[in-house]
Structures are given as structure tokens and as C-alpha cells.
A and B are shown apart, each in its own frame.
Chain A
């Protein structure tokens, strides 16, 4: 009986964790090339969720198509935020200003969504939520299977892109040393834009898959993003492997805290872990050469 519960919660944790990974990877990619934080990333998650919701309910599209649509919406938002906020502020070379500007954008977007969609939570249900596979006393919904499949394929593609393609290598070169990469004939501005588009598309897509789990209101993204920040730091800022590992850990911690302690304690445990990590090993689980902030 207990092993069943442990296994069941492990599956729930991995499902949740893989979505956190998608959100956190975006933050970490942006941090890698730009050493900046995008607070509006949270609202890209929310807007992705709403985009998928309205495509399903107004157009009658299928869930998988809607996830793809949320991906595109996220990509457009990423292009917008880089063109309007980060590009103009980059010349000032300040780490605080873009952070605050994106807090402003986030307040703006949340309240625009509030005006359009209202404060009442939307019930985001897919036909896959109720279709359940059971084996050995464990329940897995098709929804969970889709989440794990889509996110692991996406993460694998991203990993392959970073490792094996010329663009991916150029991207890593920019995140290691922007000036030198520029000297090698790499245009950092285009790569930064590409990073923003990929990162935000991942957030939008994660939103479409998180929506059935979350309470879908205009403020839904905020709770996800604060956890994503914790994940990014626990994993080591700018480090892809560390982020994946930390995301899964946080997902598991969350599901086991819900099972054995109290759902109200999730954030306390996750952020307690974050502060502990910062106190013991501030470079994160897998440390890289970027240590100037530590």
C-alpha cells in the first residue's frame, strides 16, 4: 500500500516537475545569454494557458493543437518583450533596470487579463484528464502521459539543438563570452532574440499543460514563476542540466509534501531548500564557470 502511494506520488511529482523544467529552462536560457531576469515570464505561462483555453472553447480545436498554439503565442510574446524592454535597456548595462521594467510589464499584463477574463477561475478540462490507465494500483491519466511525452521530447530537442547545431553552439558561445563570440562572426543580437523566442515559447507551452493542474486565473503564473526562480538557482543559474535536475526534484518535493505533510507547506519547503542551497553551495547543483555573482 505504502509503496503504491510512494510510486503514485513519484509519477505526480515527475509530471509537475517536467512542467516546472519547461518554465525554468526559459529563465535559465535567458540568464545564460543576457544575465538578465524576465519577470513577465510568469504571464507568458498564464497567457499560454488562456490561449489554449480559448482555442479549445471558441474554435473547438483539439488539446494537442492548442498546446502548439500556446507555443506560438509564447514565441510572439518573447519577441515583443525583447524588442521593447531588453534591447533598449541593454546599452545601459544595469542588472536592476530590466528586472523592474519587466515587473511593470507583468503588473500591466496581469491586470489587462483581469479586465478581459475576470477574476473567476476557469475550469480547464481536456478529454484526457478523465481517461485513466491503471496498473498495479497506480493511476495515470492520459493527460499526465501527454505532459511527460511532450515535455521530454521538447527538452530532448532543445538539448540536441544546443549540443549539435551550429546555432546552438553559437548560443552557448554567446552565453560564455559575448564579446569574443561577436569577434568570431556571431551576431549576438540575433541569438539573444532567438533565445527569448525559444524561452518564451516554452513558457507558453508549459502554461497550456499546467492549466488543468492550476487554478486558471490571471495571476496563475506568479506561483509557478517563483518556484521556477527557486529551481533555476538550485540548479545553478544558466545551467541546463542542473535546471532539469532541480525541476524534477522540486516537483517530487511538492508531491511528497502534499502527501506526507501539508499542501500549505510546499512553498516553505521549496524556498527553505533554496535558502539552504544558497547558504551551502550558491553555485547550484551543477556549477559552471559563472561565479561573478556569488
Chain B
């Protein structure tokens, strides 16, 4: 019975999500808000990738900006320097980021907690410095300009979708993000999710049950980093300009903040965390430099008073209103 109710509410949730994705660019019909919506979708993708590594596999990754940057630069350089078609370059960017994640996970196999946090931070610093200093390849701080959006979709000479259109681009990224969300949702409900949770909670006990912790960490880092790489590919073709500063380690902290404020270890939490923290600085633009002060304060207060983030807040509200007892 309960399972059926769950399935129903998931179906309602999916319909609601799809409807709001379709409706949003129609409600916000100016360039400024449509741009923000697409950035939101990219950030949701980033937050989902990090949440899978951090919230589900429990690996303290402070270097997610590296995978984001690698996806963006690898796909763009393939397009600009070698003339690879967009979707080929996209696949390569995602694969490269995934491999970079698997490389970093080799450290996670041996290290835990703060050691892994600093190792991943160091990894992100190295990637940033390479992007900044390998000028013959990346043009360093000068950046790469005029990156084209994905090619239009046309059948028999009739133009169907043109991604120079902001709405079309938003549908592309948010549609992709929704698919990633649904796949991750299936994954974390499957035995794979239970295995990862077991490793997160107690690696030694998990090993005693015959779970190969090392292999699963490689898997979690690979998946999470590949999702971050996809976000990077979209970012590059959306903004049209690439500079290394977009992928400085502070960006990793921003992504981390989205996951934490949303509620790590849930999938829906980081979605709302990413949306909130992308829009908050925009809404607060009126108070100038102080808006990031509010951003920092919000992060601190969430950790101090609501460490489960928005997901925990929603659960408390639901229980107060009498819908209690529903597992999330």
C-alpha cells in the first residue's frame, strides 16, 4: 500500500517537475531571468553530481570545480581546435571528467575525512593552475571567446530547434538535468544506493559483508564527476566564453554550499539548494557587495541550526502539518 502511495507521489512529483520546467521560461519571458533559469539548471546538475559523491558515498570532495572546469575546457577545445561536432565533444568532456573523478578516487581509496578533503582541494588548485598557465592551449586568463551553442536540430531542411534561443537552451539543460535526476533516483533506490550508504556509514562493517569499498568509491567519483563535466560542457556553450577564474576553488565551495543548504544525502534537497543559492545573490543585487555577506551568513546559519538543510526543514514542516511518518 505504502509502496503504491510512494509511486503515486513520485509520479505526481515528476509531472510537477516537467510542468514547471515547461512553464518557467514562459512566465519569465525576459532575457535576464531566462539566463538565470539556465544557470540554475546547470547548478542543479553540479549539485546533484557532488551530492552523489558526498551525500551518498560519503566522500568529502572539496574539488568539484575541477570536474566542472575539465568538462568545459575539454569539450570546448575539441570543438575549437579540432572541429569535433558538439555532441561528440560533449561525450568526450563528460568521459574525461569522469576519468578525472576516478583518478581522484584512487586517493579516496586510501584516505578519509579531512585528508581526502585537502587532497581534493589540492587537485582542484592544480587543475585551475593548469588552465591558467597552459596558455598555448587554453589562452590562460585571456580566455576563449565566441564558443557556439549546440547545433540546431533540423529535419529535411526545416529548422526545428535553434539553441541560440534562450528558451530552447533552457529546455535542453533542464531536460538533461531531469533525466540525470531520474537516473540517480533509480540508482540510489537500488541495491547500489544501499551499498554506497553502507560504505558511508561504516566502511569496515561494509567490507565484512563482502562489499568492495574501493571499487564503489571509484564508481561514485566517476559518476559524480561525469555529471559535473556535463554541467561544464553546457556552461561553456551557454555563456560562450571560458576563463579559468570560473573554475577557481571558491566555485567548489559554492557547489558544496548548494548541497548542504539543500540537504545532502537527499536528491531533491540539493535541487532546491542550487536554485535558492543561484537566485539569492540575484535577488539581493540591490545591496551590492553585501549580498555575498548574506550568502555566507545563510550557509553558516543553516549548518548551525538546520544541518539537514531545506530537506530537513521540509520534513519538519510536513510533520507539523500532520503528514508525518512519510519516509523521504
Question: Could you tell me the distance in whole angstroms from the C-beta of B60 to the nearest C-beta in chain A?
Answer: 6
Question: Could you tell me the distance in whole angstroms from the C-beta of B73 to the nearest C-beta in chain A?
Answer: 16
Q: Are B257 and A100 in contact (CB under 8 A)?
A: yes
Residues in B with CB closer than 8 Å to A232 are 118
Q: Are A226 and B121 in contact (CB under 8 A)?
A: yes
Given contacts A104-B296, A111-B292, contact A274 B303 (CB under 8 A): no
Q: In the assembly, what is the distance between CA of A294 and CA of B108, in Å?
A: 9
Residues in B with CB closer than 8 Å to A278 are 107, 110-111, 115, 119
Which among A31, A35, A282 has the greatest number of chain B C-beta atoms within 10 A?
A: A282
Q: Are A267 and B307 in contact (CB under 8 A)?
A: no
Interface string of B120-149 (1 = CB under 8 A from A): 011101100110110000000000000000
Q: Are A282 and B111 in contact (CB under 8 A)?
A: yes
Question: Could you tell me the distance in whole angstroms from the C-beta of A85 to the nearest C-beta in chain B?
Answer: 7
- Residue A265 contacts which of B112, B133, B249 (CB distance < 8 angstroms)? B133
Q: Are B119 and A115 in contact (CB under 8 A)?
A: no
Q: In the assembly, what is the distance between CA of A127 and CA of B117, in Å?
A: 41
Q: In the assembly, what is the distance between CA of A48 and CA of B160, in Å?
A: 60
Q: In the assembly, what is the distance between CA of A233 and CA of B130, in Å?
A: 22
A103 nearest CB neighbor, chain B only: B253
Which among B118, B288, B297 has the greatest number of chain A C-beta atoms within 10 A?
A: B118
Q: Are A293 and B253 in contact (CB under 8 A)?
A: no
Q: Are B117 and A104 in contact (CB under 8 A)?
A: no
B260 nearest CB neighbor, chain A only: A100
Question: Could you tell me the distance in whole angstroms from the C-beta of B213 to the nearest C-beta in chain A?
Answer: 15
Interface residues on A, range: 35 or more
Q: Are A37 and B303 in contact (CB under 8 A)?
A: no
Residues in B with CB closer than 8 Å to A60 are none
Given contacts A104-B257, A114-B289, contact A271 B122 (CB under 8 A): yes
Q: Are A230 and B115 in contact (CB under 8 A)?
A: no
Interface residues on B, range: 35 or more
A57 adjacent to chain B (CB < 8 Å) = no
Residues in B with CB closer than 8 Å to A103 are 253, 256-257, 299
Interface string of A200-237 (1 = CB under 8 A from B): 00000000000000000000001000100110110001
A229 nearest CB neighbor, chain B only: B118
Per the 8 Å Cβ criterion, residues 71-122 of A in contact with B are: 85, 88-89, 92, 94-101, 103-112, 114-115
A262 adjacent to chain B (CB < 8 Å) = yes
- Residue A111 contacts which of B114, B132, B290 (CB distance < 8 angstroms)? B290
Q: A-B pairs with CB below 8 Å: how many?
A: 137
Question: Could you tell me the distance in whole angstroms from the C-beta of B294 to the nearest C-beta in chain A?
Answer: 8
Q: Are A233 and B304 in contact (CB under 8 A)?
A: no
Given contacts A96-B60, A111-B289, contact A282 B296 (CB under 8 A): no
Main secondary structure of the interface of B (DSSP, over half): helix
Question: Could you tell me the distance in whole angstroms from the C-beta of A128 to the nearest C-beta in chain B?
Answer: 32
Q: Are A237 and B132 in contact (CB under 8 A)?
A: no
A1 adjacent to chain B (CB < 8 Å) = no
Q: In the assembly, what is the distance between CA of A88 and CA of B290, in Å?
A: 26
Q: Are A104 and B299 in contact (CB under 8 A)?
A: yes
Q: In the assembly, what is the distance between CA of A104 and CA of B288, in Å?
A: 18
B110 nearest CB neighbor, chain A only: A282
B6 adjacent to chain A (CB < 8 Å) = no
Interface string of B140-178 (1 = CB under 8 A from A): 000000000000000000000000000000000000000
Which among A35, A106, A267, A294 has the greatest number of chain B C-beta atoms within 10 A?
A: A267
Per the 8 Å Cβ criterion, residues 288-328 of B in contact with A are: 288-290, 292-293, 295-304, 307
Residues in B with CB closer than 8 Å to A262 are 133
Q: Are A101 and B303 in contact (CB under 8 A)?
A: yes
Question: Could you pull out 13 A-B pairs where Cβ atoms are within 8 angstroms?
Answer: A99-B114, A106-B296, A108-B296, A114-B289, A226-B121, A226-B122, A230-B122, A271-B126, A278-B107, A278-B110, A293-B111, A293-B112, A293-B115
Residues of A within 8 A of B (CB): 31, 35, 37, 85, 88-89, 92, 94-101, 103-112, 114-115, 222, 226, 229-230, 232-233, 237, 262, 264-265, 267-268, 271-272, 274-275, 278-279, 282, 292-294
- Given A107-B292, A294-B112, 5 more A-B residue pairs with CB atoms under 8 Å apart are A97-B303, A105-B296, A108-B300, A109-B296, A226-B249
